Amino acid sequence: MGCAFTQKIVKLCSMLKSRGHEVILLGAEGSNADCDEFIQTHSLNDIRREWGEGDNRYELGYDWKNKGFRHDFNKKRTETTKKFYKVCADAINERKRDDDFLLLMQGVYHKPIAVATKLFLTCEPGIGYRGSFCRFRAFESAYLQNFTYGSANPGKGINGNYYDRVIPNYFDLGDFDYSPDPGEYFLYLGRLIHRKGIETASKAVAVIGGTLKLAGQGKKSWDKKRKTLVAEDCTIHGAHLEFEGYAGVEERRKLLAGAKAVFVPTLYLEAFGGTNVEAQLSGTPVITTDFGVFPETVEQGKTGFRCNTLQDFVDAAKTVAGLDRGYIRQRAVNRYSMDNVMDQFDKWFSDLYQLYLSARNPDVKGWHNLHAANNGNVLSRQQDEGYNGRSMRT
């Protein structure tokens, strides 16, 4: 639950399988995601050897609950990453069909796999990062889509891409409880770092004299007696603080449902900020900043408050209990449940498959294809024989 990118892979596999698609997953030893075939690209021993500290309490070899996850985003790749690339390329080339979709979950980090396999339908379906490169891209937010376009073409007037989409992150409703009658505490759930706004949350709750529960990765020390948390790059203290540690599935479920509100006051331009949606799926309003993704995900004065000054955060904390938790929950379900988001993926994949057909056959229309009405179903004959007439394979 601590890694949004891992969760996107696990849930996307389930979503694809639920629509009858064939799924081949390539990844680290131990995956239990729903798929037709799992191909192990590297082992836990590889991970421990490359990034571990010899701490046998953790299967990754280090205390990821407090220290966070370690990644290979360096220009010079490790031997484990090179092994990952080779196993992926060999396995895909051995199995691929011309019309398979190749879904890359980490942008340029996975580009060597795309180069080695050369599949037309190579996509990035969950862009919440800088460094996307594919011809076909789905971004987590409109903010990130436009940020990406502008960053690639600074100071220029540019065109968009019809085949890029904005598809939000998706969540399993079974992971969350709804409570119309919350407790009296506020919650901060996330990485314990300055840029996630932990100090802002602490200051606002201290002013109103409430209780702020803290949970997440990044603790260096917690002095319960002195109510002092030392995190990676900041220290906060005060009688209003309670530290819950790293929150797993069940702990997160209870904390989110029982909170009066969840603080997500990220200082950087958040690509999606999944905690704010997880709170809303629990019927819990959020108190956040007014930039990045939040103008898209937080309805001002209805599902939470977007703030700019300390006074804004204090006022929000004082009034947030009056918001309709039932409305917050239902709006989030409509927008972010796995079933509803999968409809958006299916539409995107269908459009891409039509483009693939047109690229392979000059007599088939791609972007210009118009669906013919057929007994009330809006499906073209070409699509009926293509994407909608067979299981997609990813």
Full domain range(s) for residue 223:
177-336
Q: Are residues 316 and 276 in the same domain?
A: yes
Q: How confident is the model at residue 373 (pLDDT cuts 50, 70, 90)?
A: low
The per-residue pLDDT for 236 is 97
φ, ψ (nearest 5 deg) of residue 270: -65, 130
Q: Are residues 256 and 275 in the same domain?
A: yes
Question: What percent of the chain has a predicted confidence (pLDDT) above 70?
Answer: 95
Do the Cβ atoms of 338 and 170 come closer than 8 Å?
yes
Q: How confident is the model at residue 375 (pLDDT cuts 50, 70, 90)?
A: very low
Q: How confident is the model at residue 180 (pLDDT cuts 50, 70, 90)?
A: very high
The per-residue pLDDT for 65 is 82
Expressed in angstroms, the distance from the first to the final Cα of the chain is 24
Instruction: Indicate if the pLDDT at residue 224 is higher than 50.
Output: yes
The per-residue pLDDT for range 347-366, each reduced to its tens digit, is 999 999 999 999 999 999 99
* Coil/strand/helix, residue 146: helix
Question: Could you tell me if residue 197 is inside a domain?
Answer: yes
CATH number for the domain including 212? 3.40.50.2000
User: Into how many domains does the chain fold?
Assistant: 2
Rounded to whole angstroms, the Cα distance separating 292 from 146 reads: 11
Write b or e for each residue in 360-384: b if 16 or more Cβ atoms lie within 10 A of its Cβ, otherwise e: eeeebebeebeeeeeeeeebbebbe
The per-residue pLDDT for 387 is 56
CATH number for the domain including 28? 3.40.50
φ, ψ (nearest 5 deg) of residue 336: -125, 5
